[in-house]
Amino acid sequence: MTTLPSRALPFVLALAALLAGRPAGALPLISEVLYDAVGTDDGALFVELYGTPGASVDGWTLEGVNGSDGSVTHTLTLSGTLPADGILVIADEATGGGTLVAEADLLASFDFQNGPDSVVLRDALGSVVDALGYGTFAEGEVFAGEGFPAPDPAAGASVARVFADVDTNDNAADFTALDVPTPGTAPLSTVPEPAAALLLGVGLAALAGFGRR
């Protein structure tokens, strides 16, 4: 029994690291997109990213990809760093300046199409970091998202990650429609991923085993 603390220590440390760590997957992620406001879209649209506070997005780009032929309709070049809360809102700049989007961090002029279409996030080297396709893609149309497409909700609703920090690379599983968009705020996962939960169980079983010696 006296050896329990030292023998258990590696498990405790591993569990602590696991539980403190973020769910697997690269950050930042596309956490929400509003591509069709009620009525005019001018100054109302936004893309929200979630990532590590302070991380640079200098030279990163957001592309709008036309579902009908795969052509890139917009390329927005980002700059600066992710804010202290990790949530960066890129808002459409209205004709004449300004934006209707709350908590806008960056302004750009864009009007992504209403689906079936995609938005792709690339790093400064041009590598795809994350991608969201939404809507029902007919045969021959080009889906540039991940897995299966997210829904294409009615005008005024956004497409948002269920958890801003969870990415299974399946848009249908990762995203949901939000009737009330939430630029600048996002739910984060509060429970361990399944793999983490399994390891937690294994770790606890190991501790129990040590305890019986």
Name the residues that contact Ca ion, by CB under 5 A.
32, 36-37, 41, 48, 130, 146, 155, 167, 169, 182, 186
The CB-of-88 to Ca ion minimum distance in angstroms stands at: 11
Write out the DSSP string of 37-90.
Answer: -SS--TTT-EEEEE--TT-B-TT-EEEEE-TTT--EEEEEEP-SB--TTSEEEE
Here the tokens at position 118 are: 């995609």
The CB-of-144 to Ca ion minimum distance in angstroms stands at: 12
The CB-of-30 to Ca ion minimum distance in angstroms stands at: 8
Give 137 or 184: the residue with its C-beta nearer to Ca ion: 184
Give 76 or 146: the residue with its C-beta nearer to Ca ion: 146
The CB-of-92 to Ca ion minimum distance in angstroms stands at: 11
Write out the DSSP string of 78-138.
Answer: P-SB--TTSEEEEEEPPTTS--S-TT--EEE-----SSSEEEEEE-TTS-EEEEEEES-PP
Q: Which residue has the tokens 């893609």?
A: 137
Q: Single out the residue of 34, 154, 144 nearest to residue 92, CA to CA.
A: 34
Give 152 or 167: the residue with its C-beta nearer to Ca ion: 167
d(CA 144, CA 122): 12
Q: Which residue is nearest to Ca ion (CB)?
A: 182
Give 34 or 78: the residue with its C-beta nearer to Ca ion: 34
Give 15 or 120: the residue with its C-beta nearer to Ca ion: 120
The CB-of-35 to Ca ion minimum distance in angstroms stands at: 9
